[in-house]
Structure 1
Amino acid sequence: MTSPTFLPSPTVSAVHLGPLTIHFYALCIIAGIGVAIWLGSRRWITRGGRPGQLADICLWAIPAGIIGGRLYHVITDPELYFLPGRNPWNAFAIWDGGLGIWGAIALGCLGAWIGCRRAGVSFVAFLDAIAPGVLFAQALGRWGNWFNNELYGDASTLPWKLQIHQMDTAAGTAVTNASGHAIVLGYFQPTFLYESLWCLLVGLALLALDRRCQLGAGSIFALYAAGYTAGRFVFELMRSDYANLILGLRVNTWVAGLICLAAATAFMLLRTRPRSTAYPPTTITTAPPKTQQPLTGTGV
């Protein structure tokens, strides 16, 4: 029995339960969020936070992150939704894919900052606590692209090349030919898998470094940003799906490169600071009491 010479892709991306359609892309994102909150909560407690506190902050961060991720995608690829013949309402169909990580992180951080302010805890400590879990969430989320048969690279003949089907996103199934077989578009580089494995490796590296080294406040999150974007820069160069270009490079390639440089610089500046804690120590200065002057003169 010969081994397969390609990685198969699913021919089903959703299940229908009466009027309810459950998309596997959404399930992957939900699973990733669950892992990030679970791991982040454990790390938050080691930084002096209270149980349940990080999850409460995430109630602000997660919706903001989803909105930001979708906004980034729609803004950077408006022709997918607003050109003649396109359906603008599909801009809201996040279950079909299309969440920009940069927008998700930006608005997600804004939501987290609001949550931290309301809880009276350190925003930087939250970022350091949640960073490895976010990488694992991204690793799981990329498998949603596998179910959707999307985010692949150039055509490939490698043994691990990815089989891609023509998908009907509305039905959540592959389009079939006259014989009832799923239509195969070709075999391509599995860039979704490369990114998923990279996120897993960087997340494990962050956990090991944070356990062995007393890295300064904010440096774990800076390493997350630098590590993830270093890999993303390479994967963007490999991808063959549609994207807008600037000077011959995909928009996300430019964004990944710039963020990587900025985050690496931030890490070098932050790594020697004191470790982040949920409740940073505050220095309270109290003015010395005034010396009571003796009373003079005569009273009335």
Structure 2
Amino acid sequence: MSGALPGLVLAYLPSPDRGVWHLGPIPIRAYALCIILGIVVAVTWGEKRFVARGGEPGTVLDVAVFAVPFGLVGGRLYHLATDWRTYFGPGGDPIRALMIWEGGLGIWGAIALGAVGAWIGCRRRGVPLPFFADAVAPGILVAQAVGRLGNYFNQELYGGPTTAPWGLEIYERVDPATGLQDSLNGVAVGDPIAIVQPTFLYELIWNLIVAGLIVVADRRLRLGHGRVFALYVAGYTFGRFFIELLRTDPATRVFGDIRINVVVSAVVFVAAVVYFVLARGRGPREVPPTPATDPDAGDEPGEGDAATTDPDEKVPGTAGDRSS
């Protein structure tokens, strides 16, 4: 394989030699660790922002108990719906549909069903869902960025061949015990077999940029009523639209030969922008309910600001997945 790619330069980004380590019989998967770390980041930063905006401490963690499992299930269902041939088509293995630890979380399903879980949690705590969503939005973006590192370890979600110095080296991986090819659980061997666009890295960087932008916008404009979350969705989908066009991994195609996530990104972007504009008429940022106030107090437009504390004061700077 030494002659597979002549003229390699040191500037290319190397891929990890594996994505799984073993402690005895226990597999430690980088993908799973990245998802867990992302959840921790989202909950921790979301809690700080929520309290700074006037919310009751501990609420974000309580809501996350519902939102996280709902989001994981939703992400998996979206992935299965848009990549069903891998599991249920000719030669597919339906049992693998349950193996979430192998990767495969669609952000659209995670956000949609995660919002249902968050709504349940918010109802139990008497917190308006838009108020909660505005607090956690930047943290969700950073969590998505951390999750993309899992794709790096899995050698997945990359684009076409490139000669750019930041191109990503892709290696063949084999099972050391059998010598058979195993791209998910194997160990890299030989020289790189391809140099490709690191689209996972593009999305990671874009997520961090958008997280920083919405924090600044929220600080200056004192956004409320779900407008921070709408700005997150609009910013993310704008970048995802173009990044998705660079990807070459198998995907469901619609309207001829368009990747389904390109279409979804465009539709969701328009919906988020429309909501952001229309929600402006709901008035200043909500006052969050407290144990001494009516649970629905934060829903009425025209109320005063929630808190005098900047929601991002003293918060550390902002830094899915064989994800869809």
Fold match by TM threshold 0.5: yes
Runs (4+) of structure 1 exceeding 4 A deviation are 168-171
Match among 246, 249, 254 for residue 258 of structure 2: 249
Asked if the contact 1:124–1:276 (Cα under 8 Å) also holds between the matched residues in 2, the reply is no
The runs of 5 or more residues in structure 1 that have no matched partner are 285-300
2:99 paired with 1:93? yes
Asked if the contact 1:237–1:253 (Cα under 8 Å) also holds between the matched residues in 2, the reply is yes
Pick which of 191-200 and 206-215 moved more: 206-215
Matched residue SS, 2:55 = coil
Asked if the contact 1:14–1:24 (Cα under 8 Å) also holds between the matched residues in 2, the reply is yes
Shift of residue 173 of structure 1? 2.6
Partner residue of 1:295? Answer: none
Partner residue of 1:173? Answer: 186
Partner residue of 1:48? Answer: 54
Could you say which structure has the greater relative contact order, defined with CA pairs below 8 angstroms and 6 or more residues apart?
2
Deviation string 1:23-64 (CA, Å, 9 cap, x unpaired) is: 100111111111100110011112221111110100000000
Partner residue of 2:285? Answer: 275
Structure 1 CA distance for aligned equivalents of residues 150 and 104 of structure 2: 11
Structure 1 CA distance for aligned equivalents of residues 186 and 144 of structure 2: 24
Q: TM-score, normalised by structure 1?
A: 0.88
Percent of residue pairs bearing the same amino acid type: 49
Asked if the contact 1:112–1:123 (Cα under 8 Å) also holds between the matched residues in 2, the reply is yes
Matched residue SS, 2:297 = coil
Shift of residue 185 of structure 1? 2.8
Query: What amino acid is the match of 1:166?
Result: E
Matched residue SS, 1:205 = helix
Larger radius of gyration: 1
Asked if the contact 1:135–1:203 (Cα under 8 Å) also holds between the matched residues in 2, the reply is yes
Matched residue SS, 1:10 = coil
Matched residue SS, 1:260 = helix
The 1:199–1:282 alpha-carbon spacing in structure 2 relative to 1, beyond 3 Å, is: closer
Asked if the contact 2:288–2:297 (Cα under 8 Å) also holds between the matched residues in 1, the reply is no
2:15 paired with 1:6? no
Query: What amino acid is the match of 1:13?
Result: G
The 1:277–1:250 alpha-carbon spacing in structure 2 relative to 1, beyond 3 Å, is: farther
Structure 2 CA distance for aligned equivalents of residues 3 and 170 of structure 1: 24
The 1:25–1:216 alpha-carbon spacing in structure 2 relative to 1, beyond 3 Å, is: same
Match among 182, 199, 209 for residue 201 of structure 1: 209
The 1:282–1:70 alpha-carbon spacing in structure 2 relative to 1, beyond 3 Å, is: closer
The runs of 5 or more residues in structure 2 that have no matched partner are 1-7, 175-181, 290-295, 301-324
Q: TM-score, normalised by structure 2?
A: 0.82
Shift of residue 282 of structure 1? 6.7
Asked if the contact 1:148–1:167 (Cα under 8 Å) also holds between the matched residues in 2, the reply is no
The 1:184–1:267 alpha-carbon spacing in structure 2 relative to 1, beyond 3 Å, is: same
Match among 87, 100, 106 for residue 81 of structure 1: 87
Structure 1 CA distance for aligned equivalents of residues 16 and 218 of structure 2: 37
Match among 259, 265, 281 for residue 268 of structure 2: 259
The 1:51–1:282 alpha-carbon spacing in structure 2 relative to 1, beyond 3 Å, is: closer
Query: What amino acid is the match of 1:160?
Result: W
Q: Please, what is the CA RMSD of the aligned residues?
A: 1.9
Query: What amino acid is the match of 1:76?
Result: T
